[in-house]
C-alpha cells in the first residue's frame, strides 16, 4: 500500500560540531551560548534551546566555489557582548554586526578551531 499524502519540506533537526580538542570546544560553546552539554565518553549531546523561531530552523544555499561548507547561526541577546565573550573564550571576530536587507542583524565569529559561527541578534 502506498501513501497517497503529498510529501512536505523537511526541517533541519540536528547539527554536529567535529573538534580536534572536544574538551576545549565543549567549554567554549557551553560558556558562549549557555548550552547545557550532556557529556559522556564519546559524544557531548546538546539539547534544543528555548524561544523563537517557533517554526524551526531555516536556511539558504548560495554559491561559494572558493570555500564551500556549512555554517551555524545561533541567536544571541546582544551581538557586541557575544563577540567580546567569544574573544575572551579563545574565538575571534570575523565580521562586525551588520543588517541583512529585510532580515536580522548578524555578526560572525570563528571558534577556537576556526569554524565559522554566525550570531543572530534576538
Using CB atoms within 10 A of its CB, is residue 32 exposed (0-12), middle (13-18) or buried (19+)?
buried
Q: Is the pLDDT of residue 26 over 90?
A: no
Domain assignment present for residue 121? The answer is: yes
Look at residue 109 and tell me if it is in a domain: yes
Whether this model's pTM surpasses 0.85: no
Span 96-120, mean pLDDT?
93
Rounded to 5°, angle at Cα 97 from 58 and 26? 65
Q: How far is CA 111 from CA 6, 28, 65, in A?
A: 41, 8, 23
Structural domain count, the chain: 1
Considering the domain boundaries, does residue 4 fall inside one?
A: yes
Residue 85 lies in a domain: yes
For residue 120, give its domain range. 1-53+71-122
Point out the least confidently predicted range of 18-27, 46-55, 98-107.
46-55
Does residue 114 sit within a domain? yes
**Domain-located, residue 61:** no
Peptide bond between residue 80 and the one before it cis (omega within 30 degrees of 0)? no
Amino acid at each position: 500500500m502506498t501513501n497517497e499524502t503529498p510529501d512536505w519540506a523537511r526541517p533541519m533537526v540536528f547539527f554536529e560540531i567535529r573538534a580536534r580538542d572536544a574538551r576545549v570546544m565543549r567549554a567554549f560553546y557551553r560558556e558562549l551560548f549557555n548550552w547545557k552539554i550532556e557529556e559522556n565518553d564519546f559524544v557531548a549531546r546538546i539539547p534544543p534551546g528555548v524561544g523563537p523561531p517557533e517554526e524551526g530552523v531555516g536556511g539558504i544555499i548560495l554559491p561559494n566555489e572558493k570555500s564551500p561548507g556549512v555554517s551555524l547561526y545561533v541567536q544571541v541577546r546582544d551581538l557586541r557582548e557575544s563577540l567580546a565573550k567569544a574573544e575572551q573564550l579563545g574565538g575571534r571576530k570575523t565580521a562586525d554586526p551588520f543588517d541583512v536587507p529585510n532580515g536580522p542583524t548578524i555578526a560572525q565569529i570563528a571558534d577556537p578551531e576556526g569554524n565559522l559561527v554566525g550570531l543572530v541578534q534576538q
